[in-house]
Each structure stands twice: as C-alpha cells, then as structure tokens.
Structure 1
C-alpha cells in the first residue's frame, strides 16, 4: 500500500498542509518540525508522486538530448559531460539517437521542459516551435528562433595556423571532411583558409578531403598527402578520430613526429593525452562546452523572455608532443 501525505500527517501529528510544505522544503515550516516530518516520511517508506507534482508545477525538470551518432568518441565524450553537468542542477536528461523529427515527437510525449540538438548534418534551422531548444552549432546569417552555442571553429583554426607559423611552418595542410553538409566541418575548412590568408600564407593553402570523420578516413588520406611533390611540414587534422588515423599512418611509413612533420588536431578532449603519442590539440575543452550547453538550455527555459542568443566560446590550444619546429 502506498504511503500518502495524509498518512504522514496522521503519524506526525501535524496538518496535511504542513507535511506538504515540509516535503517541498518550505521556509514556512520550522526546522525541528520539518526534520520530524522527513524522518517519519522516511520511516514509512514514502515515495513522492512525481506525476502529480509535475501537474501542479507544470514542469517535468527533464531535458531531451538528440545524439546524432554513437560512433564518434568526441560526441560520446561531450554527451557524457553534458549528463554530468546536469547532476548539479534540478534537471535530468533523457537521450534519443533518432532523427530530429522523431526525437521531437518522443520528447513531446514525455513533456520535456527543453531540448538539446547537435546541428551537424543539416544547414537548415530545426523546425520546432513547441519545446524550448538550444543547439550546438555554428553562427549563421540564417534566422534561428533558438539559441546556439558556437565552439568558434574559425578562431580555433586561426590559433592552430598561427601556432604552427610561429614554429616556422609555412606549408600547412588541412585534412578533414570537406565535401559535406555538416556546417561544423565546413566552418573548420573555411576557418583554415581564412587563417592562412590572414597569416600571409595564402599561396600555401592546401586541403585534403577525408570524405568522412572516422579513424580510417584519416589513415587513408595520408597516402594522398605523401604523393605530393612537396609534402607539407605540418598537418591540421579535422577531428580526434581523423587525427588518430593520420598519426598511425605517418608512423607506419617511418615519418618521425614532430621531427619530420608536425600534427595538431581539432577537438579538445582528455583522450588526446592518451593517444599513441599525446596529441597537441585545439578547441573548446569538452567539459567547458558541456557546461555552457547545460547552462544555456536551463537559462532559456527559466527566462521570462527567452531570446535566440548566440554564444561564441573561446578555443584553447593544448600543447603536447606532436608539434615541433619546421
């Protein structure tokens, strides 16, 4: 038999309303009374009716997250950090690996308070006008009716090029997924091209399309890179997985890193430090990115006048063992 608030009130010798206030941590109930009621509730095995509580408050304190793929380590790390960031808030997170439309319909059934989306595979704004939403994506001239957390790929590429240039490198190639609808990947290569021009290296702009974001995509791109008459002295890898493949292929071919060739990777996750060579990397640290996404969606939900803001973050360059003088 379920224990009710009335049962607790009878056992504790107080009114029904006093129990209700105590269980909701109301300051209107004296601390000694509140402790007594909580002790009685625990002894009786009381479990709150969350559904009823949600009806009263008109909030579920649940946020839905749409995960675009379970195959990439960086996104897995980001989702794990987002889940961890929610632990210090009143909110919980549920996860969907379905497409945006299907996931949105599912979240509506769960009556989530908000939704987090990764804008990777579609340049078009997400069509959703019923659930407060925030996106991890890029700033755009297109109108967005929801906030965007932008990891500032352009600034990351500028820092990477300038760092390599200070080490004496001029022949710097970008290796990543180029021919794609993924706006995040497109901004990386565009940021690289702009950075090379800004640094006075416009004559050395050179990109290789991996045609994917996986480890083997980076691995096989090295063959094309080394067939060039004048191979570059430095490489910017477009992602953690791509750079891992590049690193393995170069070492198999007897190319010493960083003595023969330097390698810096986009993405800034702890796993960079435990690769077969600790990888120099550029990007917003994944824990910081997760905190900003969680803070942004909660702010968007709880604001009386939520705005479609854009927040650009500041990338961090982490030096390790894969970059050296030209």
Structure 2
C-alpha cells in the first residue's frame, strides 16, 4: 500500500498542508516540525508522486545533457563532474549520446526544464522553447543563450608565457587544426597570437584527430622541425598522453630534453607516466559554472550572457627550465 501525505499527517499529528509544505522544503514550516515530518515520512517509506508534482508545478526538475562523444576522457570527466554538481541542487540530469536533433526531440518528450549542449562548432543551436546553456566558444556572434567559455585563447597565452619564463624559445604546438571544432581553432589562434606577441616563431604540427594515437604519431614531425623544440604544448589530455609516450620511447627526456604542457585541467594529469603540467579551467569549476548557468536560465528571465572563465596553470614534473649545453 502506498503511503500518502495524509498518512504522514496523521502519524505526525500535523495538518495535511503542513506535511506538503515540509516535503517541499517551505520556509513557512518550523525546522523542528520539518525534521519530524521528514523522519516520519522516511520511516513510513513514503515515495513522492513525481508525476503529480510535475502537474502541479509544471516543472520536471530534470535537465538534459547532450554528450558529443563517449570516447574522450576529458568529456567523460566533465560530464561526471556536472552530474555531481547537480547533486547539491533539486534538479536531476539525464544524458543522451544521440545527435543534437535526436536528443532534443527526446528531451521534449521528457519535458525537461533545460538543456546543456557541448557546442563544438560556432553554429547556433535553436532553443526550441527549452532553456539552453552551451559549453563552447562565444566568438563574435550575437548571443541568444548563455555560453560558458573556458577561454582557450587566454589558456594558450598563459602556457606560452609560462614556458618563455622558463627560458624556452622554441615552443611547438601539437593539435587539430583547420577544423569545424571551434574549441580547437581557438586554441590554435591563442597559441599563434601569444607567440607573435612575445616575438617567437610559431611551430605548429597538425594532427589528424584528437586521440592518443594522433599525439603519438605527431612526435615524428615535431622532431624533424628545423629548430628542434625545447617545449611542446599538447592541445588535449589524450594528445599529450600520446606525445609523452612517444618521446619516452624515442629516448627523449621529459622535461630534461623537451618540456611538455597540456591543455585540459583534469585530475588524471597527475597520474600520467610523468605527472603533467596542465593549463585550463579546472574541471570541477567548469562543471559548477555550467550547472549554475542552466539553473539560472531556467529560473530567471535575465538576458543571455557569455561567461568567460579564468584558466589556471597547474605545474608538475613534465616541465622545467631549459638546460644549458
């Protein structure tokens, strides 16, 4: 037999409306009374009727997230952190690995209150009457929904300056170029602008993709550059992992011969074969910003904004000063 709010009210010796308010965390109920009601509800095995709550509130308190790929560790880590960030809110998250169009249709059927999209291209995504927040690049386009921008350009500027301060003058960049992925393009632009600003010659090596093996293969091209780099900036965790393994197999010391710094600020950087120096917005901070932005979008009528975050550098054993001789 299902336990109802009336059953709880009778057991707790309070009114039906008081139980309803307490279960909805209303400030109109005294804390002592609220805790008593919650204890009784738990002891009686009360399960809220979510469908009924949705009809009353016209809200599902569910947010849909469209995940672009299940293959990249960084995105998996970010999605995990987004899910954790929702745990401290009243919202739940459902995940779709389908295409954007298919996922949006599914979310409409579930009547989600909002959506999170990984906008890897600069193409605008229609909101379809569902509040939307995107993780991507703001660019120069007119904003129609909030965009959480991890500021890849500033991250590359900080990486180049950090290596320059260590004495490096031949700094190579390894990553995906000339792609529809706006995030990758901004990293390349950031590296090129930083090198030009500081008066250094850029040395860019294009990969065929964003996987570990793409970074591994790129090292052959890096070592054949006319001026052998003393430092490499890898454009992602996966690519940098491949670079590191290839350098080690070729007997190139890291950081004694070549320093290596990677984009993506995730905990896994600490457990690579040589703990890796990294640049980027910490993944837990990024997840929190995304979650707060979508909740604000759902609950507020404020105009869409671009939130440019501040990337930070975490120094580990993969980088060091240029050795003389």
Q: How would you bin the TM-score normalised by the shorter chain?
A: over 0.9
How big is the alpha-carbon RMSD for the aligned residues of Structure 1 and Structure 2? 1.7
Establish whether residue 248 from structure 1 lines up as the match of residue 245 from structure 2: yes
The runs of 5 or more residues in structure 2 that have no matched partner are none
Establish whether residue 308 from structure 1 lines up as the match of residue 301 from structure 2: no
- 2:317 — aligned with what? 321
Alignment of 1:49-128 (within 5 A): 49-120=49-120, 122-128=121-127
Q: Deviations over 1:208-254 (max 9, x none)?
A: 11110000000001111222232211111000000000011011111
Distance 1:189 1:6, change over 3 A: same
Specify the SS of the correspondent of 1:112: coil
Task: Say whether the 8 Å CA contact 1:233–1:261 is kept in structure 2.
Answer: yes
- 1:236 — aligned with what? 233
Shift of 1:288: 0.8
For 1:89 and 1:35, how far apart are their aligned partners in 2?
Answer: 19
Alignment of 1:1-326 (within 5 A): 1-12=1-12, 14-29=14-29, 34=34, 37-120=37-120, 122-201=121-200, 204-303=201-300, 305-326=301-322
For 1:166 and 1:28, how far apart are their aligned partners in 2?
Answer: 58
For 1:283 and 1:77, how far apart are their aligned partners in 2?
Answer: 14
Q: Deviations over 1:56-92 (max 9, x none)?
A: 1111111111111111111111111111111111111
Q: Deviations over 1:16-46 (max 9, x none)?
A: 3343234334444456655554454344332
| TM-score between both structures, scaled by the size of structure 1 | 0.93
Task: Say whether the 8 Å CA contact 1:179–1:211 is kept in structure 2.
Answer: no
Specify the SS of the correspondent of 1:20: helix
Task: Say whether the 8 Å CA contact 2:122–2:137 is kept in structure 1.
Answer: no
For 2:136 and 2:32, how far apart are their aligned partners in 1?
Answer: 50
| TM-score between both structures, scaled by the size of structure 2 | 0.94
Shift of 1:264: 0.8
Task: Say whether the 8 Å CA contact 1:262–1:324 is kept in structure 2.
Answer: yes
Number of residue pairs matched by the alignment:
322
For 1:259 and 1:39, how far apart are their aligned partners in 2?
Answer: 61
Q: Which is further off, 165-174 or 236-245?
A: 165-174
Distance 1:88 1:228, change over 3 A: same
Specify the SS of the correspondent of 2:142: coil
The runs of 5 or more residues in structure 1 that have no matched partner are none
Task: Say whether the 8 Å CA contact 2:133–2:145 is kept in structure 1.
Answer: yes
